[in-house]
Amino acid sequence: MTSKQSPWDKIKTPGSDYNVRSVAAATSIPLYWGKDAEGRCLFILELDGDHSGQFQKHRISVHGLKIDLRLLGTIQKQGLVISVENLVDTDIFLGLCETLVSSLKDVKDSTTGLSVAVAHLKRWKAFMAGKNKRLLSAEEVRGLFAELSFLQSLFPTHLSEKSAIESWCGAEGAHQDFIFANTSVEVKSLSGRERSAVRISSEDQLEGLSDNLYLMIYRLSEIPESDRAISLNELARQIERDITDSDAIEEFPRKLAAYGYVEMRDYDEPKFLISSQRTFRVMDDFPRLIRSGLPDGIVQVGYEIKLEKLEPFECDVSLIWR
């Protein structure tokens, strides 16, 4: 991940307690960047009153972070103090804190502010425990946007919320991105610059264990001036708002974290518009390389398929549900 200019760079390490600087963003709740005596980077929410009960009820442990509620000085104020334990993770921590700052900009009271912070910490928990603690590449952002677009189409028309979230399994090592009933769907994205071929990243992606296997290709155009174009963050929030099933609400952030995503300001751009969506039925004579057909000793195959060669296999998306 590319290093950002850090607000902690301008804060000296104190001999004891904290050194802090106010966060520049306009918020009703005072927020601070800080450093402690051990040189750890801190983020502090200043809270009016006693919030010990609320904090203990919703206390959460996040790998790589230390989270405390402490008295601030001698006045009736408390601070939610979040610190990063590994300096290698400072850039990621900054991105997470920036997202929290943005979420707090319209919050007026300390109780709500603490609730917002706890909600973000729950999302961070799964992400920080994962292996992919870095910014997604531009290609990965497009890929996730395409997968979430397909996920959004699943409920409530075709699957329940819980079943739809459970069917999304590409980030967890499954051969295809979505598996439900006796059907598998591999989702791919193309940018406006990628005109003629689709990239297949392994010999397993187009070899289905289900009877019905489909390749879904979304062409994404970056059109920031369009009112209909949305960012990856906006799409993830749309889906999160639409989910009402309690199990799905818990599972969705975990699936996002498995992909390597947690909301950060870095994903506010680019904004995408789906300019086309095409569905292909993967059958015996479909142009592909599959594990069962590779010569002995050949592994980890990646290849591209010309879109023109897929045209005989194009079908209506409704065929998936028959």
**Quick one: pLDDT at residue 88?**
65
Q: What is the mean pLDDT of residues 92-106?
A: 93
Domain spans of the chain, in order of start? 7-129, 138-321
Measured CA to CA, the distance from residue 11 to residue 21 in angstroms comes to 7
Measured CA to CA, the distance from residue 64 to residue 252 in angstroms comes to 22
- Please give the mean pLDDT across all residues of the chain: 92
Residue 26 half-sphere exposure toward CB, CA atoms < 13 A: 1
Model confidence at 206: pLDDT above 80:
yes
**Quick one: pLDDT at residue 1?**
44
Q: What is the mean pLDDT of residues 180-203?
A: 90
**Quick one: pLDDT at residue 54?**
96
Fold of the 7-129 domain: Yope Regulator; Chain: A, (3.30.1460)
Q: Which two tokens stand for residue 307?
A: 């879109």
Nearest alpha carbon to residue 171 among 147, 139, 201: 147
> Which tens digits make up the pLDDT trace of 235-246?
999 999 999 999
pTM of the model: 0.88
> Which tens digits make up the pLDDT trace of 39-62?
999 999 999 999 999 999 999 999
Q: Which two tokens stand for residue 265?
A: 């300001």
Model confidence at 3: pLDDT above 60:
no
